[in-house]
Amino acid sequence: DIQMTQSPSSLSASVGDRVTITCRASQDISSYLAWIQMKPGKAPKSLIYSASSLQTGVPSKFSGSGSGTEFTLTINSLQPEDFATYYCQQYNSYPLTFGGGTKVEIK
Amino acid sequence: QVQLQESGPGLVKPSETLSLTCTVSGDSISSSTYYWGWIRQPAGEGLEWIGRIYTNGITHYNPSLKSRVTISADKSKNKLSLQLISVTAADTAVYYCTRENHGSDSWGQGTLVTVSS
């Protein structure tokens, strides 16, 4: 299985901040990476696929980059609705695997 | 816009079979574009991909669960099913139904299944 390592596991930020989350794959996954946002009691939401492509309807404040084994998710101008837990997911090969998650909390 | 809704018993006894259904609306599970699958998350833990099924019936399962899991599809009802046999407390989790296209692009809200006597 491909191991996905995400950092940090949590962070505190203020409204208006820019935050960056990193995801590292244990082997080359090309650009087969997605970012998922999870909030308690709500259906998880896919934000980005193919490492850098926004899903339909996702605001451009979210951006993704990277390829191979190193990836980042950046959220610009953090708003209250962005406080959530974010996961990376590789779909280069099955079983699909996830990073451990990054909880973005209000400072 | 696709919607996925999980349903099934919230409590299952150890050694018994966990059975869940996912009702899909706004899309067809017969579509050749997508896989349809299941993911779970134990409380306070990470996400685990369980497996998926394609319109032609081909399935892929997580090797960690392969001996106990079956995913099937009822095209006439546009429903997806999950069966997990011989459950233990370690199978207690929120179970999500998903559509896969460039990763898991659509998710249900999830349903909590507790394994306890």
pLDDT at B67: 95
Please name the residues between 29 and 68 in chain B that touch chain A, using a CB distance below 8 Å.
46-49, 51-52, 60-64
pLDDT at A107: 87
Mean pLDDT of A1-25: 97
DSSP string, chain A: ---EEEE-SEEEE-TT--EEEEEEESS--TT-EEEEEE-TTS--EEEEETTTEEPTT--TTEEEEEETTEEEEEE-S--GGG-SEEEEEE-SSSSPEE---EEEEE-
B100 touches chain A (CB under 8 A): yes
Residue A44 has pLDDT above 90, yes or no: yes
Token readout for B52 is 């998926």
CA distance A35 to A47: 6
**How far is it, in rounded angstroms, from Cα B23 to Cα B41?**
20
Query: Between chains, do B64 and A95 touch, taking CB under 8 Å as contact?
Result: yes
Residue A50 with chain B: CB contacts under 8 Å:
102
pLDDT tens, B55-114? 999 999 999 999 999 999 999 999 999 999 999 999 999 999 999 999 999 999 999 999
Q: What is the DSSP letter of B115?
A: E
Chain A partners within 8 Å of B47 (Cβ): 36, 87, 89, 98, 101
Residue matched to tokens 């199978």: B91
* Averaged pLDDT for residues B10-14: 97
What residues does A35 pair with on adjacent strands? Answer: A48, A88
Torsion angle, alpha carbons of B64, B68, B74, B77, to 10: -90
pLDDT recorded at residue B83: 98
Please return the burial class of B46, using the count of CB atoms within 10 Å of its CB with bins 0-12, 13-18 and 19+: middle
The three-class DSSP label of residue B78 is: coil
Give the residue from A96, A97, A102 with the most B CB atoms within 10 Å of its CB, the best one to mutate: A96
To the nearest whole Å, the CA of A41 is away from the closest chain B CA by 7
Question: Percent of chain A having pLDDT more than 90?
Answer: 96
* Dihedral sign computed on CA atoms, order A33, A37, A38, A44: negative
> How many angstroms away from the CA of A26 is the closest CA of chain B?
17
Token pair 């997990």: residue = B84
Q: Which of B96, B102, B107, B109 to probe by mutation at the A interface, max A CB count within 10 Å?
A: B102
Q: What percent of chain A has pLDDT over 70?
A: 100
Contacts A42 to B, Cβ<8 Å: 109
Inter-chain Cβ pairs, chain A and chain B, closer than 8 A: 68
Q: pLDDT band at A52, cuts 50/70/90?
A: very high
Of B76, B87, B92, the residue nearest B44 (C-alpha): B92
Which chain A residue's Cα is nearest to B59?
A94
What average pLDDT does range B29-56 have in this prediction?
Answer: 94
